[in-house]
Structure 1
Amino acid sequence: FLLTPFLPEISNKSSQYHSYSIEADVNADSELVGKTVEENHLRNLPELFLIEVARKGKLITPVNPDLTIQAGDKLIFSGNIQKVDNLSHIKGLKLFAESNGLLRDNLTEVIISNRAQIIGQTIKALGFRALFDAAVVAIRRDGESLSGKLGEIKLQAGDFLLLATGPDFMQRHNLTKNFFILSEKKVPTKLTKHQEWVTLGGFLITVALAATSVLNLATGLLFFISTLVLSRVTSSNEIKRNIPLNLIVVIIGALSLATALEKSGVIATLMDLVGPWALSISPVWALVAVYLLTLLLTELVTNNAAAALMFPLAYGLVETLEVPLMPFALAVAFAASASFISPYGYQTNLLVFSASNYKFKHFIKFGLPISACYSTIVLVLLSYNYNLN
């Protein structure tokens, strides 16, 4: 709130944010063939603009009104993807996704992750359809105009893709490595009165039993979830989809890694090196050091990875200093979630970065005071609550 006036004033064209590049192939039997762009009314489509024509390996741009459309032409449009249905009314004009074996009745919008393995590669070279069971309907890159056929555009971090997805799309294990899913088509179901009472009543009863120490919260929630499944409020498949398995694996992996490093003697060796330094300072400064190292790491990698890498070190310091584990574990957890300075440290930062004309220096200028304030509060409260001195 206090730093908002310090944000740079950057003028953005609002229409730019919704302009996707859309490719459509002209079939031999198309009604467009043999007529000019003007005669086909391709310049009068609502919120869709014909910007290029790819013909026999060459790119025709700008497109003149008197250009005659030929069979095999690839028409490149730019505009509002919600108006793409206007193209489906033209006989013999097939969208890129339809050419790749998928219809447009199930569209999913994704953004390419900054750690995606597909960065720098073209859709055609990737074999996108086989790799993800999805075909690209349109591409959007904020702050830059795209040129050329969709299949030959080199993908970048922050690119928005509108995908026509197949039945196996959501089961692909490579999705989270490459995309952040922004929206997907879901069919909402209305609960019956009985189901509403089961949901609200069960939740309140679970919280009340936990608050009065009658039943452990985790146990109560398990019974509550079972009740929801039996009442058909939800399903076991939906629960499986919403369980954060990746996070659970990371937590278990971090604990297992810490144990393995301790049993193998790696932590002991490391503590022999830093032990004299750690014993010579107050536990508070050791806590600060763990926090700052995790904070630096989380700006470079994901928060889960930063926590997994730093927890064994924190665990070793706790063993050496003979201090409580909880403040150091919380320091790692809070620091791993404090990515305010870099646009690449967390997906929300990347979304803001890609949807605007902000530069890296703007993130540093705005995020550094927030990070300093956040870190000070965390470290002071941890030191005070756990009497570290």
Structure 2
Amino acid sequence: IVPTKRMRKGTFDGRLMKVIVRSGGGLDGRTPKEVNFRRKYEAAVLSINRAGEKVGSRGGLGRIVLQAGDELMILTGDCFDWDNKDTENDLKLSTVDSNTNNQTDEQFGKEFLISMVVRDSSRLKGARPLAGQTIEAAGLRGLPGLFLIALEREDGTIFHAVGSDAILNKNDTLWFAGERSSVATLRRIPGLVSPNSDQVNKLKVNKLERRLVECVISMDSDLIGKTVRESRFRSRFRAAIIAVHRSGHRLLNKVGDIELRPGDVLILDTGPYFIPRFRDDRNFLLVAEIENSTPPRFDKFYIALLAVIGMMALYTAFQDKLSLFECAVFAAAVMVVFDIISPQRARSSISWEVIITIACAFGLSTAMENSNVAQTIGQALVDLAILTGTGEIGILFAVYLATFLLSIVIANNAAALLMFPIAVQAIEELGLEPEPTLFVLMLAASSSFASPFGYQTNLMVYGPGQYIFMDYVKFGLPMQFWQMIFSVIVVNFMDQWYISWAVSFAVVVLVIVLRFKLKCRRKKKNSKEEKEKLEEVKPGDVSSESSPDNVKLTVP
């Protein structure tokens, strides 16, 4: 990418455009990552729309296979050129793209532009510093809800549509576009600090009490018309502004130079006192805290790690005397004593909804057990396997299927307890060895993928992950099906265990070899395309249209 100097005052909106994938072009049927979209077109894909619906999400757009007619919102780099042969053959400007700013408001209207500075040393001792690493190696590509929109060097040179192979230097400024809920993610990356960190440190707020707050400048505010620096915002409100959003525009200015206007949305780094003190202040509207925005304590990382290891060691060594709950309370107490978390945060971390749901699930399990509903279902499936005469294979499938179905509505340990006597009775009737059937029972009871109620950990991620019941069904049922198939096959050949081991090893090797060959084939294809382009354009090939002064230089 050719670097350019650029005035700080302005936005990125002029570089956004909406384009359509041409039929039969180089993008049709291929992924952006496969064609190296950033380098080939000097642009980055921000969103993909297909048949009026948004496809994919930030961080996964490079793996989506594009189709003719797909609408792409792209951020163009400094060398983007419609006269480029690849761009002209593969993309066309959307006919409905008469007003780029309107699209920007619609698709990116709720996003902030957040800057973070690369430091030469990580805040986490022992961690590799970001300086000297590529964007991809540093883990800055594909952050959830965030998009790296530009990289600014220490001398003010700005790179747009940054590639994953760009190397980070000390004091580089990275500009990310993202929604407010994603801003806190950047605070958790060792080696990245806010350019306003010196202002935040002057707040003299305990790090455990710091949080991000979103507020809107009101029409009656006396801050209107003043820059952040002129308003003495930090001293007056004991809060530091880290990002500003204005009517669909993501401002590139330094925060201190931004002139505040009515309706500006601010993200503040402040303490717990801001909301109760300024919720009704005439300068602000809609004051709200951003959840889980407390900055991490990188300096306490190893203490927290030792606390977790100590918890597991205590439980392993004294499991006859100590329960896992007691060991977990010990680890939590260590973290509170060493200021890794605050007592308030520890109390608020208890998810009462999950605890109540788990308790209700145990109640449902007891009700189904006492009413013989669960036993009737399990017995019916096993009887069906016996009647069909499928022998041991039928029993194994029936036990797995019955245990799996029961674990959808009752706890997995209750499902195992209910199915155990049924499985034993079926084994005795057919005169089979008990080990294979009991192994299948164990595997089925431990694989509750298709329901949030099947296991406690499923419920723990149900709320924070904002999942719905059908998410578990869509993902869990296929996994459950294949696990049932492979479990029955492996258990049925327990005596020939070396066969399953050899097959599994062969499958792993085959996958690795195929991925390597596919990667080499793509690399060879891309190299061949670049070579053909170089052969098409000869050095010094110029064309004069009317006069020697009007010369067009053709370059690859």
Q: Which has the higher contact order (CA 8 A, sep 6+)?
A: 1
Which TM-score bucket, shorter chain as reference?
Answer: 0.3 to 0.5
The structure that is helix-richer by fraction is: 1
**Higher radius of gyration, 1 or 2:** 2
TM (normalized to structure 2)? 0.30
